[in-house]
Amino acid sequence: MPLCRGLGATPPLGDGNCVSNFLAKNRGRVYAPFYNYWDEDENMDFQSYLAKVKIHLPDTKIITLENKETTVSYEEVFKLSWFATKLKIFSFVAYTETISESLIKSYSTTCLNYARKNIKGLPIGVQNGVVSNSVLVSESVDDNAISFVTARPSKHYSAFEMPIVFDLSKNELFFYRDKIVWGMVYSSFINNYITTKFGNKA
């Protein structure tokens, strides 16, 4: 049976079955839209996911954060349209057996602290900002964890903390997709960056 984009993404217009299934599955749950990636890999494991993600991540290395082997990458992006400022982007990807709300909160905070301590060049806030994409991957994801990552992220001075979850059991990516009010000029870029780096849109 063909997947209805994981019953997570907005269902196609005119597809009554998909609409019904989508509404039934998501009744009582409020979060931003998410997308089903790699439908063809129904049994994708973490190593397969990581291999696909690493294709799109520059300068990766392995570190340990919160006792988890974590792949981290770093890159800088400059745009005149950002009032001639630069984003310094750290991305962290790690596997865990189960993702709870408390775990993704703690991991995201740890990742942001690492990014702040390892920023290169000018200090945070001097013509630059930091993005910390903290991705936890698992076959078992708690509903509260999904609610947390799809809610508006915490506000920080010249830093964007973006907690992200990839559910291997459903091949679904969860993160906050609405506009980041305090960083409106960067919002669409960050959204697209997460989609293309941690999905199959690249």
- Examine the domain organization and report whether 105 and 189 are in the same domain: yes
pLDDT digits (tens, 9 = 90+) for 105-156: 999 999 999 999 998 776 665 567 899 999 999 999 999 999 999 998 887 7
Tell whether 94 is covered by a domain. yes
Tell whether 150 is covered by a domain. yes
**DSSP run (H or E) holding 172:** strand 172-174
pLDDT digits (tens, 9 = 90+) for 24-82: 444 433 333 334 445 555 568 999 999 999 998 988 999 999 999 999 999 998 777 77
- Examine the domain organization and report whether 22 and 44 are in the same domain: no
Torsion of CA 53, 56, 62, 65, to 10 degrees: -70
Give the whole-angstrom CA distance, residue 38 versus residue 24.
23
Report the number of distinct structural domains present in the chain.
2
102 touches 61 (CB < 8 A)? no
- Examine the domain organization and report whether 138 and 71 are in the same domain: yes
Query: Which residue segment(s) compose the domain that 170 sits in?
Result: 40-198
SS3 assignment, position 103: helix
- Examine the domain organization and report whether 107 and 22 are in the same domain: no
- Examine the domain organization and report whether 80 and 141 are in the same domain: yes
SS3 assignment, position 190: helix
Tell whether 35 is covered by a domain. no
Between strands 172-174 and 159-167, the pairing is: antiparallel
Most confident of 26-30, 98-102, 158-162, 165-169: 98-102
- Examine the domain organization and report whether 150 and 62 are in the same domain: yes
Tell whether 177 is covered by a domain. yes
Find where tokens 């609405």 sit: 178
Position 59 scores a pLDDT of 85
Give the whole-angstrom CA distance, residue 46 versus residue 147.
22
